Amino acid sequence: MPDRAEFLASIRHRTQAGRYKPTHAPDVAWTREREPREGGHIEDLPARFIAELEALGGHGERVENLTEAGEYVLALAREREAKLLVRWAVDELEELGIDAPLAETGVEVAVWRALDDFKEIAGRADIGLSTAAWAIAETGTLVLEGGPGKGRTVTLLPPTYIAVVAVKRILKTVPEAIEKYAGGGAGELPANLCFHTGPSRSGDIEMSLFVGMHGPGDVHVVLVG
């Protein structure tokens, strides 16, 4: 076990500006009163998003259409030997048309509804499936909006989580995503708004990192278009 001096030196090293960067994203302080510094030019937003997500231990895949996105979900369910998948009740996932093919392979599909037992169902599910309001290229982050048919437990409780996101929903920076909501009144904001970046990670006092302790440890984002 490290002594006190070693422990403090480790903290100083990890928190010193510019020395500890889990992604390639710049250190940017931002408020609405001051414009953020411009980050580096990102030529290919989908490629940058996937690179950042995979640097964090996630998995990214770019496909041309919803048919290929559905095939990815189906293949992953088979690979994980899933028995139960829970998904958001949104039009985009209805268009995916994955429920019947999953059922044919023995995977039960539970569609989120406002039922008392859905936390228990999501807790038993092998895979959670949702869309995302936005994806942020420079950090590999998903912006998830809560609301009718969009239960948070779908994105938090199953050990494997999949998000299907249209390429047109990719933004460059975190400040750009914040600006989508900063100007709205209280009545215009979603009931819940979360920024999810890669698999769940938790660190203890000895700097040991655990993946998947407080959320899914297996995260997949399928970019469509």
Domain ranges of the chain: 45-224
Give the whole-angstrom CA distance, residue 124 versus residue 86.
9
Give the whole-angstrom CA distance, residue 58 versus residue 56.
6
Instruction: Give, in words, the CATH class of 45-224.
Output: alpha beta
Express each pLDDT in 163-197 by its tens digit.
Answer: 999 999 999 999 999 888 887 655 567 878 899 98
Q: Which residue would you say has higher pLDDT here, 32 or 87?
A: 87
pTM across the whole model: 0.77
Instruction: Provide the edge-to-edge strand list for the sheet that holds 134-136.
Output: 170-171, 134-136, 141-145, 193-197
Q: Which among 188, 130, 173 has a CA at the least distance from the CA of 155?
A: 130
SS3 category, 203: strand
Burial group, residue 114, by CB count within 10 angstroms (0-12, 13-18, 19+): exposed
Confidence of residue 29 (pLDDT cuts 50, 70, 90): very low
